[in-house]
Amino acid sequence: MYDLSDGWFTKAHKIPSPNHNKRPENTAIDAIIIHSISLPPGCYEGNDIHHFFSNKLDCDKDPFYDEIRDLSVSAHLLIRRDGELVQYVNLLERAWHAGPSCLGDQENCNDFSIGIELEGTDNSHFEVAQYNTLTSVVSSLLKYFPEITRERIVGHSDIAPGRKTDPGTGFDWGHWQDMLNLE
């Protein structure tokens, strides 16, 4: 379990992102969206994810960055390959992670969800350390935000089908849900 204080994980590495805003008034936080990201794709070293979420990415560094040059995005959390937890946006604020999206009959998933990025690709396996951190983080979130149910913990691909495929085939939902049920 991780301790939370005023919307921040106390043991997370904090790198504040400017890419957030207030959630709509009287909106319950009742979902978790799991994503995957690596920058450049397939590279798990360096700080380009941090720079991307902070609008400081050197877009001339890699040809792929031309595709994301004009984006202003963030997530609440990132779990690195070694299990390190990084927080960019206060959980009580609206991070810009989901884009056009729908969960059930609710659109604009950024309004009511927490976005968790796993460092990886849509077809890579994820590390044991990442599953362990994700389990502890989500267990803490379920206590902190009692409106979140396990049925509302979904992948980016679930809320933006046809547009997004992450966390991808490498994420073992069954294994991870078993871990979460044991905690």
Residue 163 belongs to domain with CATH number? 3.40.80.10
Q: Which helix (H) or strand (E) holds 132?
A: helix 128-144
- Per the annotation, the verdict on 117 as an active-site residue is yes
Mean pLDDT of all residues in 74-83? 98
**Residue 24 sits in which domain range?**
4-182
Cα dihedral across residues 92, 94, 97, 99: positive or negative: positive
pTM, to two decimals: 0.97
**How many domains does the chain divide into?**
1
Task: Report d(CA 161, CA 43) in Å as an integer.
Answer: 25
Task: Confirm if 33 and 141 have CB atoms less than 8 A apart.
Answer: no
At 183, is the pLDDT very low, low, confident or very high (cuts 50, 70, 90)? confident
Please give the average per-residue pLDDT across 30-43, as a whole number.
98
pLDDT of residue 182: 80
What's the whole-number mean pLDDT along residues 103-113?
Answer: 97
Catalytic hit among 25, 67, 93, 117:
117
pLDDT of residue 2: 87
